[in-house]
């Protein structure tokens, strides 16, 4: 699963450009898509050149396609707030405008230019840390959900300077992971996904169309992780496989921590067995159940949680 320009602001909150590129395979859809509790998905992307999009490619286009594929019927908004060449310090002055009136998620991918500035002795990592704290805290203040992205490496195969810059990239990524843990937010590990596969680049640092498709998958997975942990309705999934012979899996979602009990009934209303009884946190959960002791036929399993009852039919065959 999963964009540089100097001068005036590149147009705050403009829609992501639509590229005439055929992207890769669409992602598998998680339970989050079915039980998502809101009618819209709003994504603000903020950063420098990788956010802006370079050489005719960006990650916002495939990211939007991923969400359209899985979250059918939801209103989707993805905006591009990327300006090439900016450091995290330079981005501070336009951040408030970028998030004004926005809701939902903000994806922050910035810092590669900080690494270059550190290489040139014009910036220190303490400055990057201060700036990223500002971005995260302001996002939370305005009820946005921040997700920060780790930075991809510069192509250093033929460039000694880039080898040194990549040492700063490693330091910055370690900082971002530490901040994500401190603020209890999700990070999208773009660096790990791209690795050192520079065939996914269009130049020394920017992903090509294939690379941006992968970057979009990483963002997609990160956003789904937040949705599954924080933004789900109470819901009950159909068991799979169905029909089932001996063993099945059943998933359910909770909007808050609750006591969950799932009972299995025969079609005549008899309580056959309790297949789940536990306390769980908010989010999506899945468990396995053994059914080899039951006669073939049609059954109904009922989830009881917080005064609600949800049910599904199950077919057992032999």
Reported as a pLDDT band with limits 50, 70 and 90, residue 1 is: very low
User: Which pLDDT score is estimated for 28?
Assistant: 84
Reported pTM: 0.81
34-58 pLDDT per residue, tens: 889 899 999 999 999 999 999 999 9
Query: Do 122 and 23 share a domain, yes or no?
Result: yes
Query: Do 285 and 197 share a domain, yes or no?
Result: no
Residue partners of 61: CB distance under 8 A and separation at least 6: 16, 17, 18, 19, 21, 23, 212, 216
Q: 6 lies in a domain?
A: no
Least confident piece of the model among 132-136, 218-222, 280-284, 293-297: 280-284
Query: Do 95 and 146 share a domain, yes or no?
Result: yes
User: Which pLDDT score is estimated for 24?
Assistant: 57
User: Which pLDDT score is estimated for 33?
Assistant: 86
- Residue count of the chain: 318
Task: Tell me how many domains the chain contains.
Answer: 2
| Residue 141 φ/ψ, nearest 5 degrees | -60, -35
Q: Which one of 172, 203, 230 terminates a domain?
A: 230
Query: Do 192 and 51 share a domain, yes or no?
Result: yes
User: Which pLDDT score is estimated for 68?
Assistant: 95
Task: Give me the sign of the Cα torsion angle 139, 141, 142, 145.
Answer: positive
In this structure, what CATH number is given to the domain that contains residue 137?
A: 3.40.50.1110
Query: Do 28 and 170 share a domain, yes or no?
Result: yes
Query: Do 274 and 125 share a domain, yes or no?
Result: no
User: Which pLDDT score is estimated for 19?
Assistant: 40
Structural domain span for residue 285: 235-316
Query: Is-contact 74 35, C-beta < 8 A?
Result: no
Q: Which one of 176, 198, 230 terminates a domain?
A: 230
Q: 5 lies in a domain?
A: no
R_g of the chain, CA atoms, integer Å: 23
| CA–CA gap between residue 263 and residue 192 (Å, rounded) | 42
Q: Are strands 297-305 and 308-316 parallel, antiparallel or unpaired?
A: antiparallel
Q: Where are the beta strands (DSSP E) in 26-163?
A: 40-47, 75-82, 105-109, 145-149
Residue 112 clears pLDDT 90, i.e. is over it = yes
216-230 pLDDT per residue, tens: 999 999 999 999 888
Q: Which one of 190, 214, 230 terminates a domain?
A: 230
Query: Is-contact 35 78, C-beta < 8 A?
Result: no
Query: Do 41 and 55 share a domain, yes or no?
Result: yes
> For the range 277-281, what are the long-range contacts, defined as Cβ-Cβ under 8 Å and sequence gap of 24 or more?
280/254, 281/254, 281/257
Place of tokens 């609750």: 258
Query: Do 60 and 199 share a domain, yes or no?
Result: yes
In this structure, what CATH number is given to the domain that contains residue 248?
A: 2.60.40.2550
Query: Do 38 and 177 share a domain, yes or no?
Result: yes
- Token pair of 247, please? 């063993």
Residue 11 clears pLDDT 80, i.e. is over it = no
């Amino acid at each position: 699963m999963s964009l540089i320009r100097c001068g005036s602001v590149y147009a705050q909150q403009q829609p992501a450009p639509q590229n005439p590129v055929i992207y890769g395979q669409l992602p598998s859809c998680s339970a989050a898509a079915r039980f998502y509790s809101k009618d819209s998905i709003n994504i603000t992307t903020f950063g420098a050149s990788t956010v802006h999009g370079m050489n005719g490619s960006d990650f916002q286009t495939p990211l939007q396609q991923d969400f359209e594929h899985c979250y059918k019927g939801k209103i989707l908004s993805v905006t591009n707030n990327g300006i090439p060449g900016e450091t995290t310090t330079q981005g501070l002055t336009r951040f408030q405008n970028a998030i004004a009136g926005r809701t939902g998620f903000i994806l922050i991918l910035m810092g590669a230019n900080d690494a270059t500035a550190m290489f040139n002795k014009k910036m220190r990592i303490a400055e990057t840390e201060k700036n990223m704290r500002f971005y995260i805290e302001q996002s939370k203040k305005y009820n946005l959900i921040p997700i920060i992205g780790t930075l991809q490496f510069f192509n250093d195969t033929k460039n000694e300077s880039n080898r040194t810059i990549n040492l700063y990239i490693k330091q910055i990524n370690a900082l971002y992971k530490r901040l994500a843990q401190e603020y209890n937010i999700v990070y999208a590990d773009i660096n790990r996904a791209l690795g050192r596969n520079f065939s996914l680049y269009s130049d020394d640092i920017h992903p090509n169309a294939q690379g941006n498709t992968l970057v979009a998958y990483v963002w997609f997975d990160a956003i789904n992780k937040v949705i599954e942990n924080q933004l789900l309705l109470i819901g009950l999934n159909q068991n799979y496989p169905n029909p089932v012979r001996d063993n099945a899996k059943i998933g359910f979602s909770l909007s808050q921590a609750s006591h969950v009990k799932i009972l299995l009934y025969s079609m005549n209303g008899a309580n056959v067995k309790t297949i789940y009884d536990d306390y769980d946190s908010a989010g999506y959960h899945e468990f396995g159940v053994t059914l080899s002791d039951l006669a073939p036929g049609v059954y109904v399993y009922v989830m009881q949680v917080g005064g609600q009852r949800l049910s599904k039919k199950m077919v057992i065959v032999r």
